[in-house]
Structure 1
Amino acid sequence: MEKVLRDPIHNHIYVQHQVVLDLINTREFQRLRRIKQLGTTSYTFHGAEHSRFSHSVGVYEITRQICDLFARNYPSQSPDDGLWDDDERIVALCAALLHDLGHGPYSHTFEHIFKTDHEQMTTDIITSPETEVNQVLRQVSPDFPAKVASVIQKAYKNPQVVQMISSQIDADRMDYLLRDSYFTGTNYGNFDLTRILRVMRPYQDGITFDISGMHAVEDYIVSRFQMYQQVYFHPVSRSMEVILSHLLKRAKYLYRENQLQLNGATDLLVPFLTGNFTLNDYLNLDDGVLNTCFAVWRNSSDEILSDLASRFLDRHPLKSVRLAANTKKYLPTLKKLVSEAGYSPEYYLDTNDSYDLPYDAYDPSSKKPRTQIELMQKDHSLVELSAISALVKSITGRVSGDERLFFPREMLAKSDQADLFSPVYAEFNRYIHNDHLIDPNNNRAE
């Protein structure tokens, strides 16, 4: 059997195994249609409405192409030759398809507030006998769900399969860079996918790349760096994440105080507000459920909850400035000024840091050692990418990103507004505009 899905990134996605089609049709996988891939980023780049469903089938498709290339060009002839054993194809394809299955609504913000872990939830969904996904996987073999889960947990016996899904250059990252770049209307994430796939090759310890493709790999590394700086770390998207986080935090507080109005969709949040939820409770949630809660809370008698819900639904982001390393001492003063202006600092003032490591060579002493990118030379010896690429070496091990202070835009009252005559607003403006607080290299409020 073969089913073809049209896709704006890969043109066609070829489903060639019944188990893959059956997984796509499960309740748990269809839920991913209702969870945005980029969360609050659509408030900045309005086209970024694509789902974790479309990303997941994209990761499947890239993995399928890798398997095809490996089977054609590097088929295993003996158990220990380090080449591709195509018996691994099904577990690789299923792990690729299901790798994001456990993401919740507004993924990372929800995780932070309700202490969930999407990777653990993915494993739970795959291994729980109660799920449709598990029932489909068990049709392959009784131990097949555990095999798929072990790939996602990076514990599977074959490192080639693991690195297809999770490494510094894997099917997951390659799809989300291309897909996110397309839907945000930016070009930062574009790279030569076809060339990278052509130079990939299996070896005993995982996946390597022919040295002739070094420049395509360099381009991928730079594209990823640019996407984080220009898209993923955009101040407005982070501002909306801060509002979302504080909105959920306020709801949690009000529930504990028996002051949260429950109505329809909000009932689905109760297990998370109490911290006592089941896997089925988790699977009942998606972005739409949370958005419905926010629509209810907009009319709440609690002014903070109502205001934060309106700010989120109507896109009224907080303003922000980039913090310099030596300015944390001014934060208590700004907190006091925000409070005097009538805003609760707990909900209307916050710092947010976003950092990424564009590329790192393997360090076994690290808490989370990364699988470095190896290039295979003509004599079949391996060399680590940054050892021969001056471009990659320049960003290897260097964390990029910033820390920002977020506050109500009303605090930046213009000079023709009456509020500026208030000493509170005037003093706050002096701190923001006179470089007392902000990074001198980026002194513009976003």
Structure 2
Amino acid sequence: MLPMEKVLRDPIHDYIYIQHQVILDLINTREFQRLRRIRQLGTTSFTFHGAEHSRFTHSVGVYEITRRICDLFLRNYPTKNEHDGLWNDDERIVALCAALLHDIGHGAYSHTFEHIFHTNHEKMTVDIITSPQTEVNAVLRTVSEDFPEKVASVITKKYPNKQVVQMISSQIDADRMDYLLRDSYYTGASYGSFDLTRILRVMRPYNDGIIFDISGMHAVEDYIVSRFQMYQQVYFHPVSRSMEVTLDHLLHRAKTLSKTETLKNTFSISFLAPFFTKTATLNDYLHLDDGVLNTCFELWRSSDDRILRDLASRFLDRKPFKSVRITDDTKKLIPHLNELVEQAGYNPDYYTAINDSFDLPYDSYSSSINHSSQIKLIRKDGSIVELSAISELVKAITGKFLGDERFFFPKEMLRNSSQIDFLVSPQFSAHIKNDYLV
């Protein structure tokens, strides 16, 4: 314990209370401080200009929610014996460390970077925690030699205490609760708001993990609907996806050019060459952040390669591709759109894309979701029921694939009368008139 708790001011949680030396030491490591330089929402800031918050702010927020859960469990549901399914506060430190470090493996523009270079942020998180080369590992080993492996097993969901695992990773966990509230605040969208205090009050530990008192069902429903709305209105926004497509194509072009002389002896090669050649080490990964990639993009503005130069400028100057929604009726017309793009002088490999965005806001019984993460409610008589079995509201969106599929193309094509004639042809016009062209 710290001799006196420290606090961080936070717009979501007011104060974040640091009460253990190991937590303060982890926050001060090189690897955790790197998260200040990685945006939480990647390209979403091109759509919602306030979304400049970082993985750092989210991570300390997840820690704070987890700390509050531990406090409530200790106060209201302390264990009396090892088989009663109640809270053993000896698990507090591993829970808090796992909460703080759960996103430490995220890289620069993480999801797009992962797609291009086949990295995995969860694997990188485990590597950072368990590698003897990292400051994080050294701090964790001050607790015990096997403590890094314990924390890593929470991330991989193999830790034996299900309550700890579900605090960090489940259908309603500290991670999701913080990012919904935080992303809602910074984007200016009110959809992500829900009653965090009430949800924490109705959480209870039990033998199979975490359960919710049935008196709090409406607060849980509100959380589910908030998540649903944030995906539809913020995370799936077509302009954000357009900028992600641009970033994807930009990195692909750089990767292709890395095999030629075009990118030789540049700043970008010194940082990205290990990823182009698939020889990257953990240290190479930790050298990257959003700023490093943005510096590469700025240098690529002056590239001799026209495509790389143009895509870098489009990304840095926020020149998103336009998009049109694809339906079963219009999917067959995609080859014609590709031909139009090529006729206009653009390489379809770098100036078109089909991007879909689907999510399961909540699913009760699916092979793709671990049943231990289902939201379960406990009645006054002690019987347990799964949320969607009694909530008509949640049942209505359970198991639904929600999102859309869009075709992205250069905005400049809309200035050509023959090309726009095709886009507003009967096949597409209904969608354009309904604002599906964005």
TM-score by length of 2: 0.97
Correspondence for 1:156 among 155, 159, 166: 159
Correspondence for 1:53 among 32, 56, 68: 56
Aligned to 2:392: 390
Correspondence for 1:209 among 209, 212, 218: 212
Shift of 1:439: 7.1
Distance 1:69 1:166 in 2: 18
Aligned to 1:325: 328
**1:309-348 equivalences in 2 (<5 Å):** 309-348=312-351
Whichever residue aligns with residue 400 of structure 2, its letter is R
Aligned to 2:436: 444
Distance 1:376 1:208 in 2: 7
Aligned to 2:136: 133
Aligned to 2:354: 351
Whichever residue aligns with residue 80 of structure 1, its letter is H
Correspondence for 1:400 among 402, 406, 410: 402
The number of aligned residues is 434
SS of residue paired to 2:154: helix
Shift of 1:434: 2.5
Whichever residue aligns with residue 277 of structure 1, its letter is A
Deviations 1:170-221 (A, max 9, x none): 0000000000000001100000000000000000000010000000000000
**1:227-246 equivalences in 2 (<5 Å):** 227-246=230-249
In the alignment, structure 1 residue 432 sits paired with structure 2 residue 423: yes
Whichever residue aligns with residue 314 of structure 1, its letter is D
Distance 2:425 2:268 in 1: 46
Deviations 1:328-382 (A, max 9, x none): 221111111100100000000100001000101133x447556210001001111
**1:64-79 equivalences in 2 (<5 Å):** 64-79=67-82
Whichever residue aligns with residue 427 of structure 2, its letter is H
SS of residue paired to 2:314: helix
Correspondence for 1:36 among 11, 34, 39: 39
Aligned to 1:306: 309
SS of residue paired to 1:299: coil
Shift of 1:78: 0.4
Correspondence for 1:192 among 195, 210, 218: 195
Deviations 1:401-427 (A, max 9, x none): 1111100001111xxxxx43xxxxx1x
Distance 1:155 1:204 in 2: 16
Q: 1:118 to 1:435 in 2, by over 3 A?
A: farther
SS of residue paired to 1:179: helix
Distance 1:135 1:339 in 2: 54
Aligned to 2:373: 371
Aligned to 2:10: 7
297-306 vs 262-271, greater mean Cα deviation = 262-271
Q: Is the contact made by 2:329 and 2:427 (CA closer than 8 Å) also made in structure 1?
A: no
Whichever residue aligns with residue 432 of structure 1, its letter is L
% identity of equivalent residues: 71
Aligned to 2:412: 410
Aligned to 2:100: 97
Deviations 1:29-69 (A, max 9, x none): 00000000000000000000000000000000000000000
Shift of 1:23: 0.3
Q: Is the contact made by 1:321 and 1:438 (CA closer than 8 Å) also made in structure 2?
A: no
SS of residue paired to 1:146: helix
Deviations 1:295-339 (A, max 9, x none): 000010100000000000000000011110232221111111100
Aligned to 1:381: 383
Distance 2:354 2:368 in 1: 27
Distance 1:371 1:127 in 2: 26
Aligned to 1:253: 256
Distance 1:96 1:439 in 2: 47
SS of residue paired to 1:188: helix
Shift of 1:399: 1.2
Whichever residue aligns with residue 436 of structure 2, its letter is R
SS of residue paired to 1:12: strand
Aligned to 1:416: none
TM-score by length of 1: 0.95
Distance 1:386 1:125 in 2: 38
Distance 1:351 1:444 in 2: 14
Aligned to 1:180: 183
Whichever residue aligns with residue 249 of structure 1, its letter is H
Q: 1:439 to 1:380 in 2, by over 3 A?
A: farther
Whichever residue aligns with residue 313 of structure 2, its letter is S
Distance 1:157 1:51 in 2: 31
Distance 1:341 1:9 in 2: 48
